[in-house]
Structure 1
Amino acid sequence: MAIGFAGALSSTGWQDAILVVPSLALAAAVLLTVRDRPPNPLLMVGSAVVGVATLVWAALEQANPAGSAGIAITAAVWLTHRRAGRAALLVSTCLGILAVACLALLAGGPDAAVTVVLLTFVGIGWVLAVVESDNENRLVDLLEQAKDNERELSILRERNRFAADLHDIQGHSLHVIKLKAAVAKRLQLTDPDRTAQELTAIERLTAETIDQARRLANSTHALVLAAELANAVELFGAAGIRTRVDHPQRAPGPHETEFALTLREATTNILRHARPTLVTISITPDRLVVRNDGADRGKDSPSRGLATLGDRIREAGGVLDVDHADDTFTLSVSFERGLS
């Protein structure tokens, strides 16, 4: 068989080689023009017709094993642009090339079987090579698309984080300013000194809000638990709400940012959605609990803000729990001991 292969290859003259050039040229044109767009129908039909004629000639004349390459490439390009039944069409194409190659058996001759094998091997080899190359290109495109999607998702996550932080800063500060403005309006005639204090506080809060927004835009904003705790006690006192704090005086723990964010959200929600007389704040290195009375079950809880807060706490490895029993509302955030 090896001697037959060598004989078939050595018997191919330059005339026979030239006769397969039109088929190969058309197939190459088809292959090169479909990288970024669908194949041209006229070019595909022309290449297929010339390719089939070249394969029939190569089989009958037992002239050139490359005679099957043109139709194989054209058929493979057609296969790669089919969406349904590609496996069945691939098998049918390979069997079709084999069937045409078997015309060499009808022509007879000592090298007929070798010609059939060579034409079939070359043809099927080109079909599989083009199809596999297309699959690799599709995989590369999918990977690039996945990378693009991941980049877009990262941008969206960052935008959502920035929007949530900006909402926390401005929403909380504006609500505090509104509360202090109401106090100043109520006391402007009876207590000018207290009114002046409240206006000064409003001015200070406005400046702090602008500064926090600027630092947030520059990615340097960080919440401080002690400042949020002092602010919460001051706000509750201004609203006539008693505050009880259980907070050991020690260095901030590893979850200071999450606790400060939770305390800010809890303070805002209590002032907006409850009529409490007492707020209890308990802080340990691994747990923060904010409990208030005066919670109205008839009102919807501020679920959107708490849902966003819960997502951020989970991302940090903690758990946010909410409990509403009778008129008492409890918000707690806990982390596993020793988790940093």
Structure 2
Amino acid sequence: MRSERTEATQGQLRMLNLNIVFASLCAIGALLISINAENPVHAVVLSVGVAAAVLASRGWSGSLSSRVPLLCLVAASAVWLVGVLVLDDASASFGISVVGTVVLFQLPRPRRVAAAVALGAFVVAVVVARMVTSPGGALNVLLDHAVHSTSVAVVGVTLVFLNHLVSGLITELEESREREAELAVARERTRFASDLHDIQGHTLHVVKLKTALARRLVRTD
């Protein structure tokens, strides 16, 4: 009964963590869209990035296919590309920052560095392309995207990192509970073996005494 309650509590913690992350992503995405969208097309483009971020986080929870974050990364990259080169909107970095972080955490550790470098190179390449094609001057574009895009990206990365941290703690709790259950089984086996050893030892001692008594009686009677 206690084990069932523990599993239920851990499941509730996971669900609460995911709900908090989803709500935060949706709220921040809606705020970015309401502030930066200048027309319906602009709003749709930013909405695709937010949807990719939310869907990638849900795919990370294991409820969807493992390919979902990769598809979301393609969508978020397209939003970043269109948002910077066409719409000149630095807030388009929200989707790619969230999805990119989710994908990086899913990769094995040896491959994370190479993937992070590749993703960073893509982001920088888009900004450089905007600087080259911008009529307003490369310095203004650099300052705008360096401050605005970085701020938005930091928010997205922080949310995903906190989600990853809490999920890791819950996983450690589950593993600890499993180890505790294994130790309880091992202790029960040890106790049973000890009791069996004591019983057998007592029985053998009684047999030994009876044998000694029988030897004496054989000689006297």
TM-score (norm 2): 0.66
User: Is the alpha carbon distance of 1:64 and 1:52 closer, same or farther for their aligned partners in structure 2, counting shifts above 3 Å?
Assistant: same
> Does the CA contact (< 8 Å) of 2:83 and 2:89 recur in 1?
yes
Report percent identity of matched pairs: 20
User: How far did residue 54 of structure 1 move?
Assistant: 1.2
- 2: CA distance, partners of 1:107 / 1:184: 109
User: How far apart, in 1, do the equivalents of 2:199 and 2:79 lie?
Assistant: 77
On the 8 A contact 1:79/1:86 being kept in 2, the answer is yes
- Following TM superposition, by how much is the alpha carbon of 1:20 offset from its aligned partner in structure 2, in angstroms? 1.4
- State the superposition RMSD in angstroms: 3.0
3-state SS in 2 of match to 1:86? helix
Query: What 5-or-longer segments of structure 1 have no aligned partner?
Result: 1-8, 193-340
Once residues 147 and 38 of structure 1 are traced to their aligned partners in structure 2, the CA distance between those partners, rounded to angstroms, is 26
Q: Which residue is 1:177 aligned to?
A: 206
CA distance in 2, matches of 1:124, 1:92: 18
> Residue 44 of structure 2 aligns with which residue?
18
What is the distance in 2 between the residues matched to 1:186 and 1:10? Answer: 103
Higher deviation after alignment, 69-78 or 153-162: 153-162
Question: What secondary structure is seen at the aligned counterpart in 2 of 1:40?
Answer: coil
- 1:93 match: 119
Amino acid at match of 1:179: K
Q: How far off is 1:174 after superposition?
A: 1.3
Which protein shows a greater Rg?
1
Measure the CA separation in 2 of the matches of 1:33 and 1:44: 6
TM-score when scaled to structure 1? Answer: 0.45
Deviation at 1:88, TM superposition (A): 4.3
Q: Of Structure 1 and Structure 2, which has the larger fraction of its residues in strand?
A: 1
CA distance in 2, matches of 1:104, 1:76: 24
1:1-340 mapped onto 2 (5 Å cutoff): 12-15=37-40, 16-36=42-62, 39-41=65-67, 43-83=68-108, 84-108=110-134, 109=136, 112-117=141-146, 118-167=148-197, 169-191=198-220
How far apart, in 1, do the equivalents of 2:218 and 2:199 lie? 30
Distance in structure 2 (CA, Å) of the matches to 1:151 and 1:48: 40
Evaluate the alpha carbon distance shift between residue 124 and residue 10 of structure 1 in structure 2; reply closer, same or farther with a 3 A threshold. Answer: closer
Residues 97 and 124 from structure 1, CA distance in 2 versus in 1: closer, same or farther, beyond 3 angstroms? farther
Paired residues, what number? 182
Kindly provide the CA deviation profile for residues 50-102 of structure 1, in whole angstroms up to 9, marking residues without a partner as x.
Answer: 22221111112344333122222222222111112324433442343233233
Instruction: Describe the shift of the 1:92–1:124 C-alpha distance in structure 2 as closer, same or farther (beyond 3 A).
Output: farther
| Residues in 2 aligned to 1:56 and 1:34: alpha-carbon distance in whole angstroms | 24
Write the distance in 2 (CA, Å) between the matches of 1:71 and 1:14.
21
Secondary structure of 1:97's aligned partner: helix
